[in-house]
């Protein structure tokens, strides 16, 4: 059984992948105060880093895809992998906006960016997802079982919209509900420690 060690500020997708499969891992969460001492010990001087049996893996999206494959959460065939990759690409625009908000120092500009995220960026992301959702309404973005795409959708949207907006996108809501109702994930969400980005 591989030994997994995750060093990060907020690598929530990676943590959700482990949790969803019930896979044990060492969760090393850094703060901006504890990070400088660790930085020289990381490839490229950045986080996250996933260490598997002593080998380091870097770059968040690449780690997500690698780990999803290792844990059986990357789709059942190349078509499903493509559809999950499409979700990854769509979510990257939202992630860029979230990072912009985090780094903005001006309070008024930050408030404007947050408003735009809630009222424009997230609804557009959900609208795009709604067009791609399977017509049979399985509650999964691809196939008939939990996968990396579902976890990315959940993490990208969770806490960033309201019920009224969510109800406009029933297929996306079904995915959110399915992830949230997963017994392992439900227990994790109830007990997870906050990160520097929360």
Give tens-digit pLDDT for 58-109: 999 999 999 999 999 999 999 999 999 999 999 999 999 998 998 899 999 9
Residues 19/188, Cβ–Cβ less than 8 Å: yes
- Domains (ranges, CATH) in the chain? 4-72+185-191 (3.40.30.10), 78-181 (1.20.1050.10)
Q: Which among 76, 175, 78, 74 is positioned nearest to 130, based on CA atoms?
A: 175
- Please provide the average confidence, as pLDDT, over all residues in the chain: 93
pLDDT for 38: 94
User: Are the CB atoms for 151 and 157 separated by under 8 Å?
Assistant: no
State the pLDDT confidence band at 135, using cuts at 50, 70 and 90.
low
Q: Is the predicted pLDDT of residue 196 greater than 70, yes or no?
A: no
pTM for the model stands at 0.94
Confidence of residue 138 (pLDDT cuts 50, 70, 90): confident
pLDDT band at 136 (very low <50, low <70, confident <90, very high): low
């Amino acid at each position: 059984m591989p030994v997994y060690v995750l060093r990060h500020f907020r690598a929530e997708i990676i943590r959700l992948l482990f949790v969803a499969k019930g896979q044990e891992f060492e969760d090393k969460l850094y703060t901006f105060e504890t990070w400088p001492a660790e930085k020289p010990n990381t490839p490229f001087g950045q986080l996250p880093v996933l260490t598997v049996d002593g080998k380091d893996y870097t770059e968040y999206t690449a780690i997500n895809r690698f780990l999803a494959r290792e844990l059986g959460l990357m789709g059942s065939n190349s078509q499903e992998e493509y559809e999950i990759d499409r979700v990854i690409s769509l979510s990257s625009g939202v992630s860029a906006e979230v990072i912009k908000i985090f780094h903005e120092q001006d309070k008024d500009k930050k408030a404007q960016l947050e408003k735009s995220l809630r009222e424009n960026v997230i609804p557009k992301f959900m609208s795009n997802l709604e067009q791609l959702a399977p017509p049979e309404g399985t509650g999964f973005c691809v196939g008939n079982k939990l996968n990396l795409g579902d976890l990315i959708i959940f993490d990208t949207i969770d806490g960033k919209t309201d019920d009224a907006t969510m109800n406009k996108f029933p297929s996306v809501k079904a995915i959110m509900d399915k992830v949230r109702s997963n017994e392992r994930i439900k227990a994790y969400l109830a007990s997870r420690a906050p990160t520097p980005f929360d």
